[in-house]
Each structure stands twice: as structure tokens, then as C-alpha cells.
Amino acid sequence: MMKHYIDNGVLLGLLINRKSRQVEIYRQAKEAEVLDCPAAVSGEDVLKGFVLNLGMIW
């Protein structure tokens, strides 16, 4: 599903799965990266300064 967003121009996609405690990170022209139980994720160069603290989600 996220691939459709990336294919249509979205630069960064974050898919959060609470049950598995994983975050899938989607970027242009790259394979999805899967993080296991990260404490936080950033907006990288797309949303500079943005940090999502995942402590309350897990």
C-alpha cells in the first residue's frame, strides 16, 4: 500500500505496526527499511527537525 504513495511522489512514508512493534520506512528509489521497536523515528531530510517519539506507542 505504501508503495502506491511513493510511486505517486511521496518522499518519505512511515508505517507503524503496534502489534509487531515495527516501523517500515519507505523512501524514493529504495527498498523499505524495517526497524524493530525503535525508540523514535525522524523526518530525515524531508521533515527536518521532526522526531516521532514512539515510547508512548509501545
The string of DSSP codes covering 1-58 is: -HHHHHHTT-SEEEEEETTTTEEEEEETTS--EEEES-SEEE-TTTTTT-EEE-TTT-
Q: What is the pLDDT of residues 3-40, one digit of tens each?
A: 999 999 999 999 999 999 999 999 999 999 999 999 99
Q: Which residues pair with 28 in a beta bridge?
A: none
Domain boundaries along the sequence of the chain? 2-53
pLDDT at 16: 97
Q: What pLDDT does residue 40 have?
A: 98
